[in-house]
Amino acid sequence: MIQGHNIIAFCNDWDGDPLSKKQIVQRLARHNRILWVNSTGNRNPQLSAHDLRRAWKKLREFVRGCRGVAENIWLFCPLVIPFHASAFARRFNRWALGWSLRRAGKRLGFEDPLVLTFVPTSADVVGQLEARIIVYYCVDEYSQFSGANADAILQHELRLIGSSDLVVVSATRLLQTKSPHHANTCLITHGVDVEHFRKACLPDTPVPEDCPAMQGPVIGFFGLIENWVDLNLIRRIAMDRPNWNFLLIGEIRTDVDGLRHCPNVHLLGRKPYQSLPGYCKRFDVAILPFVENDLTLAANPLKLREYLAAGLPVVATPLPEVRKLEGLVHLARTPAEYIRQIDTLLGTGKHGPHMGWSLRMDNESWDYKVEELSRHIQRTLSGKPVAPAASLQKGQAA
């Protein structure tokens, strides 16, 4: 792993779920110093209770200033105008964020930093940070998120790619769309916190007390419940199999009224990351029912490897990154196909957490992925860019 560097990391909000950004940055912090920059936003805000609460929270965090939140990690919450198509907002953000980050970096002694950004809207400020190298780590087709100004986000991303020394992507579809814009582009698929999710296989891991008492098989899902989750598919399966229980865990950000009328569907809301293995222990089969669109076709769902590390059999929509694990995952697209695959698993007794299945994820750990990232960064620092043809070949074979 790279060591002894000062890294300015543009990420999501620190107190959010531990997505790929936090998994990567926490491991880099073992041997480097990190200035974590909270989200500068991807979509235009709405006049809603959710967005007003978020804006107020960001203002409070900004007033608190830069502070330590973990060993070798300092948190900075920027104050930006989140209208990314506005020329005035871009000028203000470039000036205000650039000035405040240089000031925070000077106080922390962040000389000759590396910039690691997961955020396209950081494009206007990264060039002002006197970075040794800039790494853009792309994990989604950001312009396709609901509420995003697609044209503005694409323009930000193209500027960021042009400013970067290394571009890293998490899915083959992203490699295909980003590598034409930068010769030094490589693929690193997502990892998983194997030891954490493997706790689902251990006899002393408790099932959380708020898990409802259920008779019959339990079909489980955890993750953000957004419009990319095929809730209509879940509803149709639940209605067709009333003896099955559906346990859905995650923050709800879309209309779920159709599910609330199904007595065998249990919506538990967002739960702490640390408790997820306990809920997984209650699952007989995990599902990944995604709508297929431009956003999900470029996605590499984190929960897929987390299900597998928990030793669970998985039935999933055949997205391109899911197909790469076809030997470990059962593929289904329609309600009938999901029912058939789940029926087969339940009928053969191949359900519930199993240590043998979890062991198959040992080579997919985040530790391994961060070592791979470090090799690409070190090669870039040494002036030896990744050959794009080799990167594409690796992505297709992964």
pTM recorded for the entire structure? 0.89
Dihedral angle, C-alpha 44, 47, 49, 52, nearest 10 °: 60
pLDDT in tens, the chain (398 residues): 999 999 999 999 998 889 999 999 999 999 999 999 998 765 555 556 655 665 556 556 666 778 999 999 999 988 766 666 677 777 877 777 888 898 999 999 998 999 999 999 999 899 889 899 999 999 999 999 887 888 999 999 999 999 999 999 999 999 999 999 999 999 999 999 999 999 999 999 999 999 998 999 999 999 999 999 999 999 999 999 999 999 999 999 999 999 999 999 999 999 999 999 999 999 999 999 999 999 999 999 999 999 999 999 999 999 999 999 988 999 999 999 999 999 999 998 888 999 999 999 999 999 999 999 999 999 999 985 554 533 443 333 33
Break the chain into its structural domains and give their ranges. Answer: 6-191+366-397, 194-361
Whether 376 and 166 have beta carbons less than 8 Å apart is answered as yes
Domain 6-191+366-397 fold: Rossmann fold (3.40.50)
Backbone φ, ψ for residue 80 (5° rounding): -130, 160
Residue 131: partners with Cβ closer than 8 Å, 6 or more residues away: 8, 113, 114, 115
- In the chain the first and final C-alpha atoms are separated, in Å, by 22
For domain 194-361, the CATH architecture is 3-Layer(aba) Sandwich (3.40)
Helix crossing, 366-381 with 20-28: angle to 10°?
A: 70
What pLDDT, on the 0 to 100 scale, is given for residue 40? 75
